[in-house]
Structure 1
C-alpha cells in the first residue's frame, strides 16, 4: 500500500487542485486516506445513496421495484441521461429508473426517484448506512436559489459505504448483489478506468481480466469517482473526489490514478 499511496500522492500534488481520497484493500484491509473527511459538493455521486434508499424502501416493502412511473414533461431536466431526449408519457419501472440513474447518470431518472422516495427517506437512509457527515438537500439540475443546503459527500464515508455493500452488510445480501451488478454496468468509463487495458476476451464465457463497479460525478471544475476494482482475486475500493481543476486535465489525472491502482492489484 505504501508504494501505491506514494504514487497517487505524487500524481495529485503535480496535478494541483483539492483532493479527498480514501482507498482500502479488501484483501488485506490496508487503507490510505488523503483529506478523507473534507466535504465536497456531491454532484452525481449522491446517486449512490439514492440507489441505496431505493433498495431500502424495497426491502421494507414500501416500494416495489416493478412499480411504473410515467415520464412527464415537467420531470425532464438537462445534463446527463437519455430520458431528456425521449417522449413524455412513457412508463418506466423503479428498477429501470435506478439503473439509468447509475449507468448513464440520468438526472431525470434521479429526480423521478427522489420525488417518489421523498427527501426525508433518503436522508434517513443515509444516516442509517453511516453517511452522518454527507448531506442531501435537493434534486439534480433544479437547485433553488434560496436552498436549505447543498448535497455533499466525503471520501471516507463513501469508501465505508462501498465496503458495507461489498460485504453484504447494507439492507440485505440480495440488495447488495443487485447494487453491485448495476454499478458494474456503468457506461461512463473515461475516468479511473480510462487507461486500463481492454476487457475483450478471446472465448465466450471467459472471465474479464478486470471489472469496476463504480459511479462518476462531475460539474465544472469538480470531478469525482467511487467504486470497487476487481482484478483477478484482488479487490480495492477507491473514492476519489476533486475540485479546482480544469475538466480535461482532471480526466487525465483520474485515469493515471486508476492505472496505478490496476498495476498495484495486478502485481
Structure 2
C-alpha cells in the first residue's frame, strides 16, 4: 500500500510538470518512467506553408478551431495531420498535430501492431487459441449493431486472428483487452519507443480502473497525437511498420473497418479508406489511408466533440481535404 501511495504521489507530481507518466509492473515491482511526448517532425517529411494554411482554413470553416469543453477534464483542442503521398517526398501538414489527446479505440491499432510483430517473430501463430478470461470480457453490446458475430465471453476459446479482426473491424473492447494481455504492455511500448512515439504508450485496457491489473489502476489514460497516428499509417502504406508482412496484415485489417460514420461520408464512393475509428464520451476520432487509384494520402483526426454533434463537420472536413489533395496534385502535374 505504501508503494502504491508513493507511486500515485510521484505520478501526480510528474504530471503537474506536463510530463507523461508510464508505470510498468514486473512481479512485485513497479517502475515509473516519464518523458515528454515526442513531437519532432521526422526528416523524411517535407513541409509546405501553403498546405498548412489551407488545412487551418478548412478546420476554421467547419468550426473545429476552438477549445472544447470535455467535462471534468476541462478543455481540449483537436489534433489533425494530413500527409500528401503523391509526390517524390511525402508532404506533411496539420493543425495542432502535436497535441496529445484521448484516442479512444484508435489506440487498438498500436496493440495490433505488437501482436503481428510477435507473430512475425514466431512467438505464436495467428491460428493459436486463446481462452477468454474475466474481467477482459467487458462488452455487453456489439459496437457495430449489424455485425453478426457474438460477444466473446469468459471461457470462450478463440484464435488470435479472430481477436484481431474483432478488435479492428468491430472495435471490440473484450478482444482488445485479451490482446493487450497477449502482447504485454511493456512490449507494445518498447516497439512504440523504437519509432519515437513517446507519449502515445498503451497504458490502459478497456475496462474500469477498479478492474485493472495491479499497478495499472493508477496510471494516466492512454493518449496519442495526430503526428504519431499519421506516421503509423505512413509506415503501413510504405511497408515499413515492423516488416512488409506486418504492414500488409495491418492494412488488410484496416480495410475491413465496419464503422464508416466519421470521415468516410466525405469521401467519394470510389475511394478506399483503410482506417481505425474511435469514440467515447466527448471524443470522436478517425485515422487512415485514403486511396482512390489516382491520389492517396494519410489523414489523422482527433476531436474533443461528441459524435452526434461533430459528424456533419467531419463529413465536410473530409470532403474538403480530399478536394484539396486533388487540387494540389492536379496543379502540380498540369502542363506548364
Q: Is TM (by shorter chain) over 0.5?
A: yes
* Match of residue 155 from structure 1: 226
- Residues 63, 187 of structure 1: CA spacing in aligned structure 2 closer, same or farther, 3 A cutoff? same
Counterpart mapping for 1:71-110 below 5 A? 71-72=132-133, 74-78=135-139, 80=143, 85-86=151-152, 88-110=154-176
* Match of residue 18 from structure 2: none
Q: Does the aligned pair in 2 maintain the 1:196–1:258 contact within 8 Å? A: yes
Q: Partners in 2 of 1:116 and 1:262 — Cα distance?
A: 38
Q: Any gaps of 5 or more consecutive residues in structure 1?
A: 200-208
Q: 1:258 aligns with which of 318, 324, 330?
A: 318
Q: Deviation at 1:98?
A: 0.7
Compare relative contact order (CA 8 Å, sep 6+) and give the higher one, 1 or 2. Answer: 1
Q: Deviation at 1:152?
A: 0.6
Q: CA RMSD in A?
A: 2.3
* Match of residue 30 from structure 2: none
* Match of residue 7 from structure 1: 58
With structure 1 as the length reference, what TM-score do the two structures score? 0.87
SS in 2 for 1:95: helix
State the number of aligned residues. 256
- Residues 4, 150 of structure 1: CA spacing in aligned structure 2 closer, same or farther, 3 A cutoff? closer
Q: Does the aligned pair in 1 maintain the 2:128–2:160 contact within 8 Å? A: yes
1:121 counterpart = 2:187: yes
Bigger CA drift: 124-133 or 210-219? 124-133
Q: Partners in 1 of 2:135 and 2:129 — Cα distance?
A: 17
- Residues 252, 121 of structure 1: CA spacing in aligned structure 2 closer, same or farther, 3 A cutoff? same
1:230 counterpart = 2:291: yes
- 1:64-105 deviations in Å (ceiling 9; x for gaps): 111111234543103636777355544221111111101100
SS in 1 for 2:110: helix
Q: Does the aligned pair in 2 maintain the 1:159–1:237 contact within 8 Å? A: yes
Bigger CA drift: 101-110 or 25-34? 25-34
SS in 1 for 2:264: coil
- Residues 84, 221 of structure 1: CA spacing in aligned structure 2 closer, same or farther, 3 A cutoff? farther
Q: 2:303 aligns with which of 236, 239, 242?
A: 242
1:171 counterpart = 2:237: no
* Match of residue 55 from structure 1: 116
- 1:180-203 deviations in Å (ceiling 9; x for gaps): 011010000000012434x4xxxx
Bigger CA drift: 137-146 or 25-34? 137-146
- 1:14-62 deviations in Å (ceiling 9; x for gaps): 7763211111101132221111111111211110110111111112211
Q: Deviation at 1:264?
A: 3.1
Counterpart mapping for 1:131-150 below 5 A? 131-144=197-210, 146-150=217-221
Q: Partners in 2 of 1:87 and 1:49 — Cα distance?
A: 23
SS in 2 for 1:226: strand
Q: Deviation at 1:112?
A: 0.6
